[in-house]
Structure 1
Amino acid sequence: MAANTPTTDATGGQSSMDERILKAATFGVFWDIEVLATKSPSILLGVTPQGNNCLHISTIHGHEEFCLYALALERSLLEKVNCENETPLVIAVSLGHASLASKLLQQCCGRPRLSRAILQQDRYGFNALHHAIRNGHKQLALDLIAEESALSRAVTKYTESPMFIAVMRNYVDVSEKLLDVDDSSDVGQYGRHALHTAARNGNKDLALQIMEKRPRLAREADWDGITPLRMAISYNKVDVLQVLLAQRSSLAYETFKDGYPLLYSAATRGQVDVARVRVKHG
C-alpha cells in the first residue's frame, strides 16, 4: 500500500498521475484540485506505477476531507483497484482508518453500481469485513454486514471466513449477525470452522448459537480428524462440552482416533469434570 516505493507498473494503460495531484493527495491539500479538474476533467483518474489513484493515496494517509472532496468531483474513484487489488475502502479498513472507511461506505450505499467497491477482495482474499473484524472495528463490521451481507461469504487465501475470525476473537455481536446470514461462510484454517473456535475459546454462548443454527458443524472434523467435541475436551472446556451434549446427546458416543470412547479417554487424561458430563448425558 506504499504510495511510491513499489516498481511494478500496474497502470493498465491509464494515464500517469499528475505530480500536483500526487502532492495534494499525499498532504491532504484539497482546495486547489477543483481548479485542476476543471481544466482537465480526467486529471483525477491518473495513477501511480502501483495503480493508486488520488483517492487511494489520500486514504493511505487518512485525509478525510480530501477524500470526500475528490469524490464529489469524481465518484468512480471508489471502485478503482491498485496492484494489490485494493479499493480505497479496503485500504481504509486495513490501515485502521475506521472513520474514513465509514464515510467511504456511505458513499457506496444505495448505489448498485458501486457494490463491487464494497465486495472487493485484496490479493490475499481479505475484504473490508475481514479487515474490520481483524482490526477490532466491531461497529464498522456490523455496518458492513447490514449494507452488504454478501461480504460474509468471502473466504481468504488462508481459508478464513469473517465468521471464523469473529468467533476466534469472541466478538459475540458480530458473530450473531453473521450467523443470521443463511449463506455466510463459517470455515477457517486447517479444516476448522466456527464451532471448533468457540469450543477452543470456551465460549458456551456462541457454541450454543452455532449449534442451534448450524447443527451439522458438530460432527464436522478438521484435517486432523478433530471434532468440536474433541476440541472442547482437549482444552478442558467443560461448559462448551455441556452445551454440545445438551444439544445433541449422541455426541457422547463419539470415539477418538484410537477407537476409545469419550468417557475412557477423559478418564485416562484425569479429566474428572469431563467424565462427569459424559455420565450425565449418557
Structure 2
Amino acid sequence: MDSASDAAALPTDYLLMDSGLYEALVEGNEEDADAVWQKMEQHDGRQVTPKGNTVLHIAALYGHIHFVHKILLQEQHRSFLLCALNKKGETALHIAAMEGHTDVVSALIHCAKTSPELRLLGVESGMGIGATDMVRMVDEDKDTALHKAVRNGHLEVVKLLVKEDPEFEFPANQSGETPLYIAAELGFHEGLVEMLNNCQRPVYGGPLGRTALHAAIINWTPKDCTKLLLVNEACLCEVGDDWGWTPLHYAVKRHNEKAVCDILQVKSSAAYIPAGVGKEWTTAIHIAVRENFVGLFRKIVERCPLCWEMVNSKGQNVLHEAILNNSTGMIKYILNNNNSGRKRDHLVDEKDEDDY
C-alpha cells in the first residue's frame, strides 16, 4: 500500500502508525515504555494501523497491561482512545474480550468508571460514556464485548462484563445471535451458568427463529446445557423455529434421549405441539417412528399416552408412518403394545386422508 492509499484508508484526523511504535507495542517490552510514549506524543496519540487499530487496540490485542495502564493514565488521550473504533467498529474492550485478556478488560472498565470526562468518539459534543455504555457498544457485526468473550470461551471475562451491566439485555447481533445462544450452541456451560445467574433480563434468541434451547439440542455438545436452560425458562421448549420445529422435535430427530426426557419432565404438553408450518406438519412421535427409534417412542408415549391418538397433516397415525418408512421395529412394537390391557389394534383400521 502506498502512502496515498494509506492516507485515504485512515480515519479522519488519524495518521498511519510509526513502524517503530507498532513493533514496540507488539513486543511489549517494558523498557520501551518511555520511547513508545514519545512516539505517541508526536501525533497526539492519533496513530493507527491500516486496520484502524490505535495504540490501545494493539496493547489490548497482545495483552500488554503495562502499556494499557500507561496509555489510560494520560488524561489528554484516554477519552478518545478508550472509545476509538477500528475499521470493524471494535473498541479496545472488544479486542481484549475476544482475546481473553481479563486484566486488560478490568483496566478498561475501571478507567471508564473513574473518568467522567470521557466522550464517545464520533458523536455530538457532550455525549458522555461510562462503563456500562462501553460494555454495550457494538461493532459492525452488532457484537458486544460479551458476544466476543462467550464465542471464545473466556469465562473470567464473561464474569466481569456481566457483573458490570447485569440489567442489560445483551440483544442479538447482526446474525441474530445473543450471547446466551452462542454459549448454548458451543456448549459453554460455565459461561451459560454465569449469565443465567447474573443477567436480570436474559435474552435467549438466535437465528432462524431458534432459541438457545434449540442450539443446545441441535449441537448436542459434551457439556449439555439443555436442563440448565429449561430450569431457567421452561417455556423455551414450546417455541418453534422458522420451520415450526420445537426443541423437542430436534431432540427426537437427533435421538437425544436425555433432552427428550428433560423436556417432557418440565413440560409434557410439548409432545402435542406439531412440527411444521402451513399445510404440512408432523409430530414428535411421528418423527420417532420415521427414524425407527423404538426406545424413544416408548418414553414419549409412557409420559404422554394421548400421543397414541395423534395424526399428522395427512391424517396418518403412527402405524401409517411406520409402514410407509418400513420401520420394522416400530411396526412390531405398535402392534404388540399393551397399555393397561388395551391393545393398539384399532390403529390398523384407521384411514388417512387418501383412505389408506
TM-score scaled to structure 2, two decimals? Answer: 0.67
Flag the 1:26–1:213 CA change in 2: closer, same or farther, 3 A.
Answer: closer
Q: List per-residue Cα deviations over 1:48-93 (Å, max 9, x = no partner).
A: 5654322123333443221211111133221121222111111222
Match of 1:243 among 245, 262, 266: 262
User: How far apart in 1 are the matches of 2:228 and 2:99?
Assistant: 32
Match of 2:91 among 87, 93, 103: 87
Q: List per-residue Cα deviations over 1:1-60 (Å, max 9, x = no partner).
A: xxxx97753422x243673755654544322355677x77x7124445654322123333
How far apart are residue 113 of structure 1 and its match?
A: 2.4
User: How far apart in 1 are the matches of 2:177 and 2:261?
Assistant: 27
Match of 2:211 among 181, 193, 209: 193
User: How far apart in 2 are the matches of 1:18 and 1:271?
Assistant: 62
Aligned position for 1:278:
300
User: How far apart in 2 are the matches of 1:272 and 1:254?
Assistant: 20
Q: Kindly provide the amino acid, as one letter, of the partner of residue 16 in structure 1.
A: L
SS of 1:31's equivalent in the other structure is helix
1:119 aligns with 2:136: yes
Question: Where in structure 2 are there 5+ consecutive unaligned residues?
Answer: 116-128, 305-356
Question: What is the aligned-residue identity percentage?
Answer: 25
Aligned position for 1:229:
248
Larger RCO (CA within 8 A; separation ≥ 6):
1
Flag the 1:134–1:6 CA change in 2: closer, same or farther, 3 A.
Answer: farther
SS of 1:223's equivalent in the other structure is coil
- Contact in 1 for aligned 2:208/2:242 (Cα 8 Å): yes
- Contact in 2 for aligned 1:252/1:281 (Cα 8 Å): no
- Contact in 2 for aligned 1:8/1:49 (Cα 8 Å): no
Larger Rg, first or second structure (1 or 2): 2
How far apart are residue 204 of structure 1 and its match?
A: 9.4
User: How far apart in 1 are the matches of 2:250 and 2:189?
Assistant: 20
Q: List per-residue Cα deviations over 1:151-188 (Å, max 9, x = no partner).
A: 65232211111001111222223212323424222112
- Contact in 1 for aligned 2:187/2:222 (Cα 8 Å): yes
Aligned position for 2:53:
52
SS of 1:43's equivalent in the other structure is coil
User: How far apart in 1 are the matches of 2:24 and 2:190?
Assistant: 40
Indicate the structure with greater helix content. 1
Moved more, 135-144 or 174-183: 174-183
Q: Kindly provide the amino acid, as one letter, of the partner of residue 162 in structure 1.
A: P
Question: Where in structure 1 are there 5+ consecutive unaligned residues?
Answer: none
Q: List per-residue Cα deviations over 1:180-217 (Å, max 9, x = no partner).
A: 42422211222211111222317897323323332332
How far apart are residue 98 of structure 1 and its match?
A: 4.3
SS of 1:280's equivalent in the other structure is helix
- Number of equivalences: 275
Match of 1:129 among 131, 134, 146: 146
Q: List per-residue Cα deviations over 1:83-121 (Å, max 9, x = no partner).
A: 221111112222444443343334334666243332222
Moved more, 77-86 or 46-55: 46-55
SS of 1:246's equivalent in the other structure is helix
Q: List per-residue Cα deviations over 1:217-263 (Å, max 9, x = no partner).
A: 22211122211010110111111111111111112223334544433
| Cα RMSD (Å) | 3.0
Flag the 1:239–1:27 CA change in 2: closer, same or farther, 3 A.
Answer: closer
